[in-house]
Every structure is written in structure tokens, then in C-alpha cells.
Amino acid sequence: MRVGELSKRSGVPVATIKYYLREGLLPAGVLTSPNQAHYDDEHLRRLRLVRALVDVGGLSIAAVREVLAAVDTRDDSMHNKLGAVQEAISQPGSVELDPVAVEDVRAFLARHGEDECADVTDSNVTHMLASALSAARTVGHDHFQELLDPYLEGARLIARADLDYIARRGSPDDVIEAMVVGTLIGDAVLKAVRRLAHVQVSRTVIGDGSDD
Amino acid sequence: MRVGELSKRSGVPVATIKYYLREGLLPAGVLTSPNQAHYDDEHLRRLRLVRALVDVGGLSIAAVREVLAAVDTRDDSMHNKLGAVQEAISQPGSVELDPVAVEDVRAFLARHGEDECADVTDSNVTHMLASALSAARTVGHDHFQELLDPYLEGARLIARADLDYIARRGSPDDVIEAMVVGTLIGDAVLKAVRRLAHVQVSRTVIGDGSDD
């Protein structure tokens, strides 16, 4: 397909496609004449992935380049590629870490068979968790870590549905694109669904006043 | 206690306490002399709630005043009060709603026995959910609503732990303060825990390359 068709099918403007081509985020098409290049479905898939990283993930062009390098590493498993992309789309914020919160995260990881020797800031995901527990301690909530095990239990159910969702995709680029969208838009969906669950569970546990 | 002690025990600076007193977010203390007022544990609890709403919830003073009015309504159940506060701390953002996403939310609510006649924008929580599904559709993810049921299943486990966590508090202000902190800091904790669950489930489902 020509660049106009690539734009139409991806929903990405031609000018943006040309920018991605210049930045090396999208491989060049096959020249069919000095001024015309031909693109295929591989380009379309890569373009969707780049758009998900930029528009949904909010990544910089440099960060997208790093993610694509990880995706394109031939001798690595899909599990490791997904892990590398997940790290890139998970920014821990700048909360000062509370040493007790850090210990709580280490204990939680050890309980669930994760590597307990690593520094929690080695991974953006565990750093993010330590930041959130530190924020809880700052406002006097010193027992928030007790919620971690039930949260993990619920999150495992959710993660299985997420993995089913992304595994339906055919190509590696599409799997990773679905992981990016599923993780980030999934955060927002889960935020809302959790609030609905609060209402439902509170109605059962506390009662809605109909029998007060 | 005097204002200095109230500040020390709450971690809120004296100037901020005086500002809250002027804005009517904190009831006046009992005057023990023309220049000195006495505060009790009720003030401390209310101050913690105000701080959670402002610092963790990011609410404006006007919004805090509305929440406190809901909390202080005598003839209402705790379930309804929690619902009112939850609405106040849940802002749906400004994504343009996709009519198909709105229908998906309505169908989801109907499946789970929630009021199906209401407009999804009547509640910030259902509006938030419709916004997230609309964002998914914008990037070509038209089947994201299939995740809603498993998400709710996982979120119910999490909500039960959340409700246990807040129900341990003694006074209504403390219950609501724990709900605010638990909901909002809980969002950040769950974001991280969900990513850990992704890694764990992906290791099982996809494999980490040790048997590739």
C-alpha cells in the first residue's frame, strides 16, 4: 500500500508517519519509483504499536526507540519482551521512599516467590509499589501492606483475562501493542470497575439503609 | 488539646489548620480564653479526613465542603455516605464518549443488576468507565468490554479486602478517611500489583524462555 492508504488504515496522519520514518521508528518502505514507497502489513502493525506507545503510553520518541529495540531482539522470549515493554510504560513517580514501605515490598515479593535480593528500585514496577505504600504511610496509613495479598489474588484473575486478550493477536508487534493498550487503558477501566465493586460490596456488607 | 498539639498529632501545619477553621472545614474549638481554643479527638479525626480529601484526593475547598456536608447528613446510611464521597473523588476526565462504549457500559451494568435506566454520565464512576472504553475504541480496541466481567470478579475480591480495611475504623470520619485513602492510594498500589501479576501469569502462560 502507499503512504496514504497506510495513513487511512492506521488512523495516523501522513505527516506523523513521515516523522516516524525519519526518526527510524518505522522501517522505510520499498521504493517503487524515486518518489513513491510501498508499505505492507508489517508497517501497519509497527505503526499501531508506535502509536500505542506514544498516544496511550505517553512515551518519548527515545523511549519508543528503546522499546522497539527490545521487541526486535531476536534471541529473547516473548515473556522477556513483554517485561521490558511493561517496565518502559510504568513510571514510579517521585515520592520519597519510606524504608519500612521498602521492607514491606521486599517481604511481599519474597512471600510470592519473586527475587528478594534485588533492590526495589531496580524495577519500575516494584519501585511504583514502594512509592504507593510510602504515600500511604505519609498520611498515617501504616497497615496498607496488609492489602497486598488480597490485591494480588484479585489481580491474578484480572491478569489471566489480560493475557487471554493479548494472546489472541497474531504477530509479536500486535501482542505487544495489545499489552500496552491493555495495561494502560486497563488501569483506567479497572479504576472504575473497582469503584463499582466497592458500591456492590458495601451494599452487602454495610447495607444501603433499606433495613437500617 | 491546643492548636499546636492538634498540629503535631495530625501532621498538619498550624497555618493550614487556621485556614481550614476560617473556611469552615473544621468546627471551631471551645474557647478557654479569648485567645486560646481547645480541640478534641473529633477535631483530629475531621482534620485527618480533610487532609486526605485535599492532599490525596486533590479536591478543592468547595468540593471538600460538599463532601463534609454529605458526611454530616444525619439521616443517611453509611453506604450512601461512602457512595457520595466516592463520587466526589472520582473524576471521569474529558474523553469524548463513543456511543458503542456507552451501550457496552449499560449492558455490563444490566448484567450485574445495576440500574440500567440511568444515564452513564449521571455517575462519575460509570462515566469514567465509559470514557476508558471510548479511549480503547479510539485506538482500534473494539473488544475491550469483554474484559469487564473478569475485571469485576477480580475487583470484588479486592473490594472485600478494602471494605474490611475501612470497617476496622471506629468513627464515621475515620471510616470515610480510610475509604478516601484506600480508594486513591489503592489505585496506585493496584496498578503496581497488577503489573506483578502480569509478570507471574505471563511466566506461566507464555514461559520465560527456560524451555524455549
pLDDT in tens, B15-36: 999 999 999 999 999 999 988 8
B189 interfacial to chain A (CB closer than 8 Å): yes
Considering CB atoms only, which of A77, A160, A206 is closest to B212? A77
pLDDT score, position B209: 59
- Interacting residues of B132 by C-beta distance below 8 A, sequence separation 6+: A185, A188, A189, A191, A192, B95
**pLDDT above 80 (res A211):** no
Chain A residues near residue B109 by CB distance under 8 angstroms: 196
Q: What is the pLDDT of residues A111-131, one digit of tens each?
A: 998 876 678 999 999 999 999
Residue B62 contacts A, CB cutoff 8 Å: no
Confidence of residue A44 (pLDDT cuts 50, 70, 90): very high
Alpha carbon of B189: minimum distance to chain A alpha carbons (Å): 6
Q: Which residues of A126-150 are buried (b: 16+ CB within 10 A; e: fewer)?
A: bbbbbbbbbbbbbbebeebbebbeb
- Burial bucket for residue A60 (CB in 10 Å: 0-12, 13-18, 19+): exposed
Q: What pLDDT does A116 receive?
A: 63
The DSSP 8-state label assigned to residue A2 in this structure reads -
Cα–Cα distance, B81 to A11 (Å, whole number): 44
Residues contacting residue B19 through CB under 8 Å, at least 6 positions apart: none
Q: In a structure prediction context, what are the per-residue pLDDT tens digits for chain B, which is 212 residues long?
A: 999 999 999 889 999 999 999 999 999 999 999 888 999 999 999 998 998 888 888 889 998 998 898 888 887 888 888 888 898 888 887 889 999 999 999 999 999 988 766 789 999 999 999 999 999 998 889 999 999 999 999 999 999 999 999 988 888 888 988 999 999 999 999 999 999 999 999 888 877 655 44
Q: Residue A24: is it exposed, middle or buried by C-beta count within 10 angstroms (0-12/13-18/19+)?
A: exposed
Q: Does B107 touch chain A (CB under 8 A)?
A: no
Range A46-54 average pLDDT: 90
pTM of the predicted protein model:
0.87
pLDDT given at position B116: 63
CA distance to A35, A90, A93, A142, B153, per residue, from A25 (Å): 20, 21, 26, 45, 39
Q: What is the pLDDT of residue B117?
A: 67
CA distance A111 to A126: 14
Distance CA A53, CA A47 (A): 10
CB contact under 8 A, A158 and B160: no
Share of chain B above pLDDT 90, in %: 58
Taking only the tens place, the pLDDT of each residue in B159-189 is: 999 999 998 888 888 898 899 999 999 999 9
B94 vs A: CB within 8 A: no
The closest CB to that of B192, out of A128, A143, A158, belongs to: A128
φ, ψ for residue A38 (rounded to 5)?
Answer: -115, 135
Locate the domains of chain B by residue range.
40-205
Burial B61-89 (b: 16+ CB within 10 A, else e): eebbeebbebbeeeeebbbbbbbbbbbbb
